[in-house]
Amino acid sequence: MSTRDAPERQAARLSGPAPRILVIQAPYYEQVVGGMLRGAERVLAEAGAALEVVSVAGAFELPAALRMALSHPGARHDGFLLLGCVVKGETDHYDFICDAVCHGVMAIGVETGAAVGFGLLTVDTLQQAIARSSDDRHNKGAEAARALLGQVALRRRWGLA
């Protein structure tokens, strides 16, 4: 498979100034989200991005924080990276949280046209989350950062940034 066939393995090439990225993290599972953040930071550093990182209590708060960031008159971010983790338990709470967060983020992205990278792990076990946040090529924070850079590149290409 060529690099051209695997865009998820390389960061988007951006023209113009270094992107300003706001990372909104929900570090309830600190080891997992910390690993995802490290993966994302590596990818974003390669793109020369300037990062600001804020934290919220949990995954449920990610869409509201994104909306607040987009509404803040002084904030000038080129893109937003959301990182969190929800581990399935014995109740329906998991399903409600995952559904609410995914729909909330998607609605905001579609409504505003913001460049959003979505790194929410939804897993059955903590071990699965740790595997997806380790320092290897399977890091989902890095994957979400690459997707975000692609969105930033599209906004710039179409004159939206």
Does 7 map to a domain? no
> Cβ atoms within 10 A of the Cβ of 103, count?
11
The full length of the chain comes to 161
- The reported pLDDT for the residue numbered 10 is 57
Residue 10 near residue 42, CB atoms below 8 Å: no
Does 149 map to a domain? yes
Active-site residue list? 93
Does 37 map to a domain? yes
| Closest C-alpha to 83, from 138, 30, 10 | 30
Q: Whole domain around residue 53: which residue ranges?
A: 19-156
Does 9 map to a domain? no
Does 13 map to a domain? no
Angle at 105 between CA 59 and CA 152, to 5 degrees: 115
Does 66 map to a domain? yes
Does 3 map to a domain? no
- The reported pLDDT for the residue numbered 1 is 38
Report CA torsion sign: 124, 6, 137, 147.
negative
pLDDT surpasses 70 at 4: no
- The reported pLDDT for the residue numbered 131 is 97
Summarised one tens digit per residue, pLDDT across range 50-88 is: 999 999 999 999 999 999 999 998 889 999 999 999 999
pTM for the whole structure: 0.92
Does 161 map to a domain? no
Count: domains in the chain: 1
Phi-psi region of 50 (alpha: psi -120 to 50; beta: other; left: phi over 0): beta
| Closest C-alpha to 119, from 137, 135, 105, 100 | 105
- Check which CATH number belongs to the domain holding 125 and give it: 3.40.50.960
Summarised one tens digit per residue, pLDDT across range 105-158 is: 999 999 999 999 999 999 999 999 999 999 988 999 999 999 999 999 999 999
pLDDT level of residue 7 (50, 70, 90 thresholds): very low
User: Rounded distance, CA 50 to CA 20, Å?
Assistant: 5
